[in-house]
Amino acid sequence: MAKKTNKASDNVTLTTKDKKTLGSIRTLADEVVQAAERGRAPYVEIPSRSLSNVRFNQSKRIIEMGSGTGRRELFNLSQARSYMQTLLVGSGCKQLIEQGKTTSIRGLFYLLKHTIEGTREETFDAQSECDPIIEDVEVALDAMREELHLYAKNAGAMVGPITLVDSGDEIDRL
């Protein structure tokens, strides 16, 4: 039987960053598979983005995340949905990178939103449910959004000479 290929990805040249990001996605997926093969409950480690897990690096003069993490487990009923969503976002980003495509965060939401086969359950109910999962994948992979081939759409951005008048106050930016 002939090997099925994706024509969109046949002509894609991956950058060094693309290869690094794909490697991180594969490592994450491999860890999930290895846990399952060992008969252990699959999980994903997500760095904690809470205020208690940040510190100010005096020498660099920046705020850095600490080493605190949380587990997102498949067989934990309260985490199963977010576990599935995390892997779904990782898979979606992998496809974008391999195909040499980029989309907005909202575009990824619509790309991944569907009814799970055999159920009435949606993968994501709203964009607001998807956004923090994307951020979790960013920190789990230590990758910037752009390295996942995603961007935030600049809705409402203005360019050029503009004068704003608010309650009699005038701001003139040339």
String of DSSP letters for 96-135: HHHHT--EEHHHHHHHH--BPTTSS-BS-S-HHHHHHHHH
- Catalogue all structural domains in the chain, each as residue range(s) with its CATH number: 14-152 (1.10.10.10)
Q: What is the Cβ-side half-sphere exposure of residue 157, based on CA atoms within 13 angstroms?
A: 5
Q: Exposed, middle or buried by CB within 10 Å (0-12, 13-18, 19+), for 30? A: exposed
Instruction: Write phi, then psi, for 75 (nearest 5 degrees).
Output: -95, 10
Residue 43 confidence (pLDDT) = 94
The answer to whether residues 42 and 35 touch, using CB atoms and an 8 Å cutoff, is: yes
Residue 103 confidence (pLDDT) = 96
Q: What is the Cβ-side half-sphere exposure of residue 34, based on CA atoms within 13 angstroms?
A: 7
Q: Tens digit of pLDDT per residue, the chain (174 long)? A: 344 444 446 688 999 999 999 999 999 999 999 999 999 999 999 999 889 999 999 999 999 889 999 999 999 999 999 999 999 999 999 999 999 999 999 999 999 999 999 999 999 999 999 999 999 999 999 999 999 999 988 766 667 777 878 887 887 765
Which among 150, 147, 25 is positioned nearest to 87, based on CA atoms? 25
Residue 154 confidence (pLDDT) = 73
Residue 62 confidence (pLDDT) = 92
Residue 156 confidence (pLDDT) = 64
The answer to whether residues 46 and 141 touch, using CB atoms and an 8 Å cutoff, is: no
Residue 169 confidence (pLDDT) = 81
The answer to whether residues 47 and 65 touch, using CB atoms and an 8 Å cutoff, is: yes
Residues forming the active site: 110
